[in-house]
Amino acid sequence: MTSPAPRGRRNVRKRIRQRRLPMRYLLPSLLLVALLAMLMLRGYVHSEILADHRIQPPAATDQVPEAILGGGPVIDARSTTRPAGSLRIPDHRIVLTFDDGPDPEWTPKVLDELRKHHAHGVFFVTGTMASRYPDLVRRMVDEGHEVGLHTFDHPDLSYQSHSRIDWELSQNQLALAGAAGIRTSLFRPPYSSFADAMDNKSWPVTRYVGSRGYLTVVNDTDSEDWKRPGVPAIIERATPEGGKGAVILMHDSGGNRSQTVAALGEFLPRMQQRGYEFTNLTTALGAPSAHTPVTGFALWKGKAFVQAVDLSENVTGVLVAGLAVIGVLVLVRFGLMLLLSFLHARRVRRRDFSWGPALTRPVSVLVPAYNERECIANTVRSLVVSDHPVEIIVIDDGSTDGTADIVEAMRLPRVRVIRQRNAGKPAALNNGIAHARHDIVVMMDGDTVFEPATVRELVQPFADPRVGAVAGNAKVGNRDSLIGAWQHIEYVMGFNLDRRMYDVLRCMPTIPGAVGAFRKEALDRIGGMSEDTLAEDTDVTMALHRDGWQVVYAENARAWTEAPESVQQLWSQRYRWSYGTMQAIWKHRRAVVERGPSGRFGRVGLPFVALFMVVAPLLAPLIDVFLLYGLVFGPTQKTVLAWLGVLAVQAVCAAYAFRLDRERMTHLISLPLQQILYRQLMYVVLLQSWITALTGGRLRWQKLRRTGVVEAPGALPGRPRPSSDRRPVA
């Protein structure tokens, strides 16, 4: 007898297992969170997040000390015991200052000119640029230049609170620590100019920054190089009068700085000939260096930040490039799909189109079934009323719900039941092929129903002796739920429109298990249905291509299948499909280097399938991640227009597919919601399949729960079912 305590512990463990987040959700979620984090970091260092681009208009100056307004360009407000003062640069000394860098194009050229003429200067760097280009900051320090802070993302500090100012300074120092292992005591406010331009809005900021231990450096000579007035004008405006010392403002970033670089090439030697020395600020003032080495945790923290920025830049850069490439390929595919689908429909719908003499001889229909009690009666009834002579073989694969008994009790003509131990769908189909009396075998699922004309339409292409297999038109029968409607769109657009294109390209990747026909000779030549993969339909189709057979699409061979009605069932089905498709691609990979029909399929069909069924969908979530980012931080209007443009292209393709299949357009109302919700589930399924494949995991066959509510138009009515048999959409 089991004691209460162990039973209680088992119940607790069971509840814990139920609450644990499944790995199939956890891993994709972690990857998406990591991607979003890198995107946010990239946006932060590109001044797209938390940036404030407001600029304060001029204000009164009555609160600014006269000593500051009439003083020099270096303001010392660090002392709490004496008034703030200012300093000037001694005569015949020039402190060249460069703002807004480092820039990967122009800063190296500026540094080259300074090194060429043995000159030094001060670079007031922003944290955003320093964290993205740390090597340039390191070069500045190594070549003897001083570095100052210019805030992290260049806001007007007169609008900011003390906490935001502290944040700007600390983040700027963090970037310097990670880039060059230093701290600096020099600071230049964004949008600053001369000392006499200090006003009641900017002066409190200068006092507060001084209280944090910084020298504030403005300028007394503005080259106005940012206006790009020409090299002579820059040199003229940068030249001090009467041999006086100066702090000269230039820029090594923020736009095209070719005129600045050219002006330096002339200005430096000219002023040196006049006896000027180009030096660092602290050297000119005879003060200790502004740089302090950073050690310990602060150094590692800075290095970690810079490395994180580098990782986010590289990863998001690659992803953006990959997304652009995939986006172009997808648009090309949409165009190709529309064009080739049009050509296919035009060809097969011509009045004089024919596969050859009408095929009227009997064929064998194989129905593999495992626990299909709810569906099997409707399936068999739909076959009995076929307008083409058929032999119906139901292969019961070890069902435990009486599936075979139901078929036998129906006592229908031309219906045989073959029982076998449970061995899987491929084994059941091979067993059926062995018992088939005719040279053409039609395969369908035990949850599918055919229209009376389906078999006849499906087998007509075999009048062409080159045809080895035919794909039918699988349709969703239970489309009255939201998930069913989404799958209906997917089947019509993503499957059947694709099959028209693949038919023209002669590289059909999959004969749907719900409705397909095969020449028995062709199956014998490739060894029948293989158990090597979980997608035996894709596997056998690829094998037929490699053996030289043509695989075509019969648009009027309609079959109505019961699509999964819950998220869990849909997950199980698509997980198996995705993983099985990867297995089939890997199994037939040698076709890429082979000759003849196998090589043609390997170099046309396999890359097409791998790119658009495995690789492109894996990158597609980037669209939604970048959409979310653009809506919150980027140009919202352009982002929305771009997304609507992509949706419009998909809507056009879907509408054309519905028109070709003569489907009602009303189901397309849910297309935008499908793109937002349903598509995400398919992405996660594919990602989980990748993880399973890469980790060497194995996936078992999974049986979906069926309700048996699907009936084909024109088929004999099945037994009535109470409405309570319908399972709600999860």
Task: Give the 3-state DSSP-derived string for 658-713, with helices as H, strands as E and coil as C.
Answer: HHHCCCCHHHHHHHHHHHHHHHHHHHHHHHHHHHHHHCCCCCCCCCCCCCCCCCCC
DSSP string, 307-335: HHHHHHHHHHHHHHHHHHHHHHHHHHHHH
Question: How many residues are recorded in the chain?
Answer: 730
List, by residue number, the catalytic residues.
99, 251
Which among 588, 580, 590, 589 has a CA at the least distance from the CA of 698?
580
Q: Which two tokens stand for residue 659?
A: 């028109």
How many other C-beta atoms can be found within 10 angstroms of the C-beta atom of residue 392? 21
Alpha-carbon distance of 329 to 351, in angstroms, equals 35
> Are the C-beta atoms of 148 and 124 separated by less than 8 Å?
yes
Alpha-carbon distance of 572 to 555, in angstroms, equals 28
Q: 524 vs 426, 527, 530, 534, 698, CA distance in Å?
A: 14, 5, 12, 20, 28
Alpha-carbon distance of 512 to 493, in angstroms, equals 15
In Å, the largest CA–CA distance within the chain is 116
Which among 432, 421, 443, 423 has a CA at the least distance from the CA of 531?
423
Alpha-carbon distance of 696 to 615, in angstroms, equals 19
Q: Residue 706: phi, psi to the nearest 5? A: -115, 160
User: What is the CB-side half-sphere exposure of residue 448 using CA atoms within 13 A?
Assistant: 28
Helices 621-632, 296-348: crossing angle, 10 deg rounding:
120
Residue with tokens 């594919």: 686
Q: Please, where are the H alpha helices in 436-518? A: 454-459, 482-489, 498-505
Q: Which two tokens stand for residue 259?
A: 């005129």
For residues 225, 228, 230, 235, the Cα torsion angle rounded to the nearest 10 degrees is 0
Which among 617, 691, 46 has a CA at the least distance from the CA of 317?
46
Identity of the residue numbered 79? S
The secondary structure of residue 371, as a DSSP letter, is S
Sequence-ordered list of residues with C-beta below 8 angstroms from that of 12, at least 6 positions apart, any chain: none
Alpha-carbon distance of 310 to 308, in angstroms, equals 5
Cis peptide leading into 190, omega within 30 of 0? no
Sequence-ordered list of residues with C-beta below 8 angstroms from that of 153, at least 6 positions apart, any chain: 44, 47, 50, 51, 126, 127, 128, 168
Q: Please, where are the H alpha helices in 152-230? A: 162-180, 202-211
Q: Cα(first)–Cα(last) distance of the chain, in Å?
A: 39
Alpha-carbon distance of 426 to 428, in angstroms, equals 5
Alpha-carbon distance of 215 to 218, in angstroms, equals 10
Regarding beta strands 291-293 and 182-184, do their DSSP bridges make them parallel or antiparallel, or are they unpaired?
antiparallel
Which among 126, 74, 113, 119 has a CA at the least distance from the CA of 96?
119
Residue with tokens 């500026």: 110
How many other C-beta atoms can be found within 10 angstroms of the C-beta atom of residue 572? 19
For the chain, count helices (H), then strands (E).
28, 20
Alpha-carbon distance of 652 to 657, in angstroms, equals 9
